[in-house]
Structure 1
Amino acid sequence: MTHVSYTRHGDIAVATVNNPPVNALSLGLRQGLMQAIEASRADAGVRALVIIGGGSTFVAGADINDFGKPYEEPSLYAIIDALMASSKPVVAAIHGTAFGGGLELALSCQWRIASPDAQIGQPEVKLGLMPGGGGTQWWPRLAGPAVALEVTTGGNPVAARQAHEWGVIDRIAEGKLLEDALVLAQDVVSGTLPARNLAESTDKIRSVDPALFDEFRRKNQRKWKGQLAPWKIVDCVEAACRLSFAEGFRLEKDAFRECEHSYQSRSLIHLFFAERAAGKLPDVTDTAAPVASIGVVGAGTMGAGIAMCFANAGLPVTLLDTSDEALARGMKLIAGNYATSVSRGSMPQSRADAALARIRGSTEDSALADADLIVEAVFEDMAIKQTVFRRLDAIAKPGAILATNTSTLDIDAIAGATSRPGKVLGLHFFSPANVMRLLEVVRGPRTAPETLATAMALARTLRKIAVISANAYGFIGNRILAAYGREADFLLEEGATPWQIDRVLTEFGFPMGLFAMRDMAGLDVIWRIRQQENPTRAAHLRYSPIADRICEMGRFGQKTGRGYYLYDGRTAIPDPEIETLIVSVSAELGIARKDIPDTEILQRLLCAMANEGARILAEGVALRAGDIDVVYVNGYGFPATRGGPMWWAREAGLTSIHDAVVAYHRQHGDYWTPSPLLARAAECGGDWDAALPPV
């Protein structure tokens, strides 16, 4: 039993799981468990079995790499059957974590004891999966269907003490876990605790109103759009309340297999690994420098949110602006954000107070002299940013890192305004910065490896998903946004409306349409950027003036109550005036408008994303195709169940995507020039990274 050691403590056998680092349910571990169960059953001197985890945890769950593959025996199902059929009581002793299949292993035991700081949970839904080892049947019997629905569809960890209150954990250990587990086992075999068969327990599932499940589905309908697993989970929890355990378990197994082989699960598992790969830098081995104090320049919406990110992570922040009035507005915004978090229950008052106390304001550059890292978050204008960086370079201590929050501008040109280009990089936070998990870390050509390593380590401290981008216009996210946003503008000229395009995108799974998103961000911000760029735009390239015309009308989006839409509060209302404007632009450009099918709109926008993503990958702006997907899912609302634009293209078939791009190139011109990498990836069977030339 290489993964499970078997010992005797008097008449109690102990099976200790040893499969570091997290005791995943590998084949070797399953074989060892089955041997331990059979050994305890065959030994007449053994009256009970304790299963406990070695190392830092119980059993954290199944190996994700095994999902979708044929089951090798003994499967988890076989072990669960053996535990449920055991004539000798089995106690699960939980410390660390017991998630997914690891928790279902524990639920199959007759009794459970846990360390006070242990956590349990059913996180499968976050990978497009569902409990497959009886979880949807155990939870309603132990904690009731209402709790079962929340835990199994939410996928969040549950503290051991809460699970004890619910009846899922029988005891909380007061001393050493193994010693207390042995006491629990002795209480069972001595008759101090009664014998029980939890599979036959019906106390908490009798006479459950079916309306509970209908209401739960209705409440989560919008949230679960495009998903399969949560709907199946509700079906199985409901079945637990009207079927025998065996019948419900069979239903759960069938539903699990359906989820396991779904495109949603494939997509979410792809993102799971892509997020972990994104933080790995193959060419950076330098050690991160310590960062103990932060400066943020600019107390506007972005600067305030960035300051909150650092304060929430326990770092002291000095927020700088040019006037007391601007600083007061920024501090008021921050205080309001914390008050909102407290009122929603997402942050306790004590934590909000502590975070707010870490932020101090100043109008004097010298206040940043001791900061280890200074983040600039001022107006998106190169001359202004270069001026700010000259000032910061003059006052910052020699080892300080200077970061810009620019979303489009040349990092090296900004670094050139300083005497320390190796200490300059981009940290592109996404709005609202204190909420959004994505952080684009932009590596300039002169950014030192230690600077990059420090930024990546800091991102982990902030609990951000960091993705490295090379220094190129728009980096990863905004460059793709420009490509598919341009096509959306051209589709308007050709016959679509903003509300048609937005509906197509939201039906695909985006939380918000492109034009509604522009209105929310503020149309004037991008307008000013276009005004700076237009003098250098190639005259032969197609350009849509619709967005400029809307801004010239003073329509800047939600903040003015009018943009692509009219607004009643935050409710977007289609505006005939905008449709009239679009039609007039089409006539002015000599474009004959026509009805454009939804399918064509969706394919054109997604193909534009994939083709631009292929260019970004080929140019080395992104290190991996998965990095692009991580950016687009976490920063731009691409539905996670679709895996991101590069994964979507792979699933759709890169040969067909390449053929579509070639056809669009013939029809629409230079913007649609196919990326050579797109053709190579199609030849490589859809593997983007394999199509890249060796480094």
Structure 2
Amino acid sequence: MTEYSVKDSVAIIQLDNPPVNALGSKVRSGIDKYIKEADRDSSVKAVVVCGKRGNFCAGADIKEFDGGKKGPWITDIGDYFDKMKKPVVAAIEGVALGGGLELALFCHYRIAVKSARVGQPEVAIGLIPGGGGTIRLPKAAGLKNALEIITTGNHVSAEKAHKMGIIDQIVSGNIIEEGIKFAKSKVHLDTSIVCLRNKHVKVDGDVDKVAEAAMAKVKSKYRGAMAPIYCVKSVMNSVRVPYQKGIELEHEYFQDLRSSSQSKAMRYAFFAERAITKWQLPSGGNYRTAKPLPVKTAGVIGAGTMGGGIALCLITSGIPCVLVEQNKEFLDKGMEAVKMQLMGTVRLGKMAENQAKQCMAILKPTVNFEDLKNVDLVIEAVFEDLKLKRDIFERLDKMCKPETILCTNTSTLDIDSIATATKRQEKVVGTHFFAPSYIMKLLENIYGTKTSAETVATVMKLGKTIRKVPVLVGSCTGFVANRMLGPYSQEAKYCVEEGASPSNVDNTLMDFGMPMGTFQVSDLSGVDVGFRIRREAARKAGETLTTKSRFFMGERNCSLIEALVEKGRLGKKVGKGWYKYDGPRGKPVVDPEVTQLIEEHCRSLGLERRTIGSQEILERMQYAMINEGFKILEEGLCTMPEEIDIIWIYGFSWPKYMGGPMYYASQIGLKKIYEKICYFHKTFPYSAHWVPSSLLAKLSKNDVPFNKWGQAVQGSKL
């Protein structure tokens, strides 16, 4: 796990714990053993700490967090480094993250190759750096830089880290040779001068004001999350208390968070994101046996908001893209939007201007459908019309080369209904991007009856390539994301009809941890969008929707959307929807006109309103959605609850510190949830989404633990 050698009077301690050299107990024990051996050896004049396989260290071994202390802790090793007279150099390539960066900060010097990255991402799993990072990073990078790095968990490039003072020198060539050369140049210098323990923290501005601003920022940005608050507290200790006291407090904070429900949920989400890569098809194909096809070129049909965003995902990942529109006017408008988005990325400092130009150089705009004939993969991104999509796929099937994969960015339509328009059903797959497609990380990949494992492997790999989180699901109306969103949103509207206000519902959801309430989301996307979806569903069902319609597709109809559209309240784009807004950047404000509209609407339907509390709102919205999640599992559309949780975390910004709706259900207790769902089914018999899931009933009755749900799903024949 750790290797030791001596070359040119320099000891080399090399971390060897594949795949990322995680700082597990055996690795730490090895470092502790060999640093003392190097210190005792009079022939050794300096030490270089590095990693094998082109990587320094990606952090601690998270699997060890739930056990007791095993081996020396990072600070125990670091205390020994601090006392050494021989210079210790961290030679970094790949990444130095979390415990990896903390190990490097205990070294007297740090060198790195230009491509390396450093960071403290512990906040992403509900923790603070627990190996001295919150106390030593401010001494290297300054207070404000350390606060930004630690509270966001973002990675920092080696060049930027060099400017901050984290890295002492950027090098090229063999990292070990460079480390030896650098270490030998420092042999005769006093290590106590460069030891971070002895350095003062650079503070720009008043300490209390910096702390106040940082705390306000994390409370606003990470609403409800504990770890960012603890991060600020611990970093501020670097300037408020003596070094050793700061280390002790950091350890206390770390232990408090490690045992918290939030960190446990976030660690679950961390492993869930890795578990979903182990996909399988009902036909037997899986991630082990299927080899993805190369995607060297791609095409996108439709240059609207969604299609243009998908094209951006491709070209910013280095994949040349042909962007097709039906006429030049629409194409030019789409291209202008792509350019504006790229320039916005440049302004934010996330991309250099020359990189943006390189991206545009591999994007080919065209109104000629034939330009798609040689691409490896096509993503159709036109509006939700089955006939239109079938026509497009029939045309693609005849024109594209036989190995080309045909993808549809549908959010609701059955994949087989589109695939049967082709003679290559095995190469047809759904790739459901979420708006805005350039920003949102979720990619819901949907297989049809005939979709091959090779095709699935290709789009799953493509998702990773374009920096998405791909999840594989089966085909049904709404798939997993929108199918679960349906009862969740419907219950929100029922609650408003029965007595709650839109702001009651939204504030309840945001207090729970959602970044936005459901009615704010409706205003942002456009109230008329929901109206058109409902109208189209009614048309297909042979029904006519009005504000007086009492039932819709066999269920009680909530026609408040129709009432809003009649009043011209189409959402934020027109300054009024469920709320009113002062300009495009305005915040939602409760509008008395909406309150009156709701009350008049309910009176006209003879609905008696009552007081509805936050607990009822949460239970009705979340339990309806959770019940649907269990139905999805029992139908085999997902193979594990982790897939549902990741969809909600990355598709709808469910708070990661709650672990996703299925994990959340396991924490509440299935028996309690099942009994409540049965109660709601009896109370609201007109809603099909309250019919209890038979899988939920089975798991509840048998008290099956969460880590066995996947086995129960795959073994059940419900």
Same fold (TM over 0.5): yes
Distance 1:67 1:681 in 2: 28
1:192 is displaced (CA, Å) by 7.7
1:213 aligns with 2:211: yes
Structure 2 residue aligned with 1:677: 695
Structure 2 residue aligned with 1:255: 253
Residue of structure 2 aligned with 1:351, choices 355, 366, 370: 355
User: Aligned AA for 2:602?
Assistant: S
Q: Spell out, residue by residue over 1:263-320, the C-alpha distance to the aligned partner (whole angstroms, 9 max, x if none).
A: 2222222222222222322333222222222222222221221222222222222222
Q: Spell out, residue by residue over 1:583-605, the C-alpha distance to the aligned partner (whole angstroms, 9 max, x if none).
A: 23333443321010112111211
1:539 is displaced (CA, Å) by 5.8
Q: Count residues in correspondence.
A: 693
TM-score (norm 2): 0.91
1:224 aligns with 2:222: yes
1:334 is displaced (CA, Å) by 2.0
Q: Spell out, residue by residue over 1:228-280, the C-alpha distance to the aligned partner (whole angstroms, 9 max, x if none).
A: 12211211221111221101100110111112122222222222222222232
SS in 1 for 2:224: coil
Question: Structure 2: which 5+ residue stretches go unaligned?
Answer: 544-551
- 1:114-193 equivalences under 5 Å are 114-173=112-171, 175-191=173-189
User: Aligned AA for 1:151?
Assistant: I
Q: Spell out, residue by residue over 1:329-372, the C-alpha distance to the aligned partner (whole angstroms, 9 max, x if none).
A: 22222222223333333332222222223223333322222222
Q: Would you say the 8 A contact 1:139–1:168 is kept in 2?
A: yes
Structure 1 residue aligned with 2:385: 381
Distance 2:472 2:662 in 1: 17
Structure 2 residue aligned with 1:640: 656
1:496 is displaced (CA, Å) by 1.1
Structure 2 residue aligned with 1:318: 322
Distance 1:196 1:335 in 2: 46
Question: Structure 1: which 5+ residue stretches go unaligned?
Answer: none
Distance 2:101 2:367 in 1: 54
1:689 aligns with 2:689: no
Structure 1 residue aligned with 2:548: none
Structure 2 residue aligned with 1:360: 364
Distance 1:178 1:100 in 2: 22
1:419 aligns with 2:408: no
Residue of structure 1 aligned with 2:590, choices 566, 574, 585: 574
Distance 1:610 1:236 in 2: 37
SS in 1 for 2:378: strand
| CA spacing shift, 1:52–1:382, aligned 2, 3 Å | closer
Distance 1:299 1:13 in 2: 58
Distance 1:40 1:331 in 2: 60
Structure 2 residue aligned with 1:335: 339
| CA spacing shift, 1:53–1:676, aligned 2, 3 Å | same
| CA spacing shift, 1:81–1:299, aligned 2, 3 Å | same
Structure 1 residue aligned with 2:547: none
Residue of structure 2 aligned with 1:527, choices 531, 544, 547: 531
Q: Would you say the 8 A contact 1:653–1:686 is kept in 2?
A: no
Structure 1 residue aligned with 2:406: 402
Relative to structure 2, which stretch is displaced further, 198-207 or 514-523?
198-207
Distance 2:349 2:109 in 1: 34
Q: Would you say the 8 A contact 1:187–1:193 is kept in 2?
A: no
| CA spacing shift, 1:402–1:656, aligned 2, 3 Å | same
Distance 2:85 2:562 in 1: 77
TM-score (norm 1): 0.94
Cα RMSD (Å) of the superposition?
A: 2.4
| CA spacing shift, 1:54–1:300, aligned 2, 3 Å | closer
SS in 1 for 2:589: strand
Relative to structure 2, which stretch is displaced further, 269-278 or 391-400?
391-400
| CA spacing shift, 1:587–1:419, aligned 2, 3 Å | same
Residue of structure 2 aligned with 1:470, choices 465, 468, 474: 474
Q: Spell out, residue by residue over 1:84-108, the C-alpha distance to the aligned partner (whole angstroms, 9 max, x if none).
A: 3445443333332221112212222
Residue of structure 2 aligned with 1:621, choices 631, 637, 645: 637
Structure 1 residue aligned with 2:600: 584
Structure 1 residue aligned with 2:565: 551
Q: Would you say the 8 A contact 1:208–1:241 is kept in 2?
A: no
1:482 aligns with 2:486: yes
Distance 1:482 1:657 in 2: 19
| CA spacing shift, 1:384–1:258, aligned 2, 3 Å | same
Structure 2 residue aligned with 1:102: 100
Relative to structure 2, which stretch is displaced further, 418-427 or 155-164?
155-164
| CA spacing shift, 1:52–1:393, aligned 2, 3 Å | closer
1:482 is displaced (CA, Å) by 0.5
SS in 2 for 1:276: helix
SS in 2 for 1:49: strand
| CA spacing shift, 1:55–1:351, aligned 2, 3 Å | closer
Distance 2:386 2:507 in 1: 36
Structure 2 residue aligned with 1:300: 304
Relative to structure 2, which stretch is displaced further, 640-649 or 314-323?
314-323
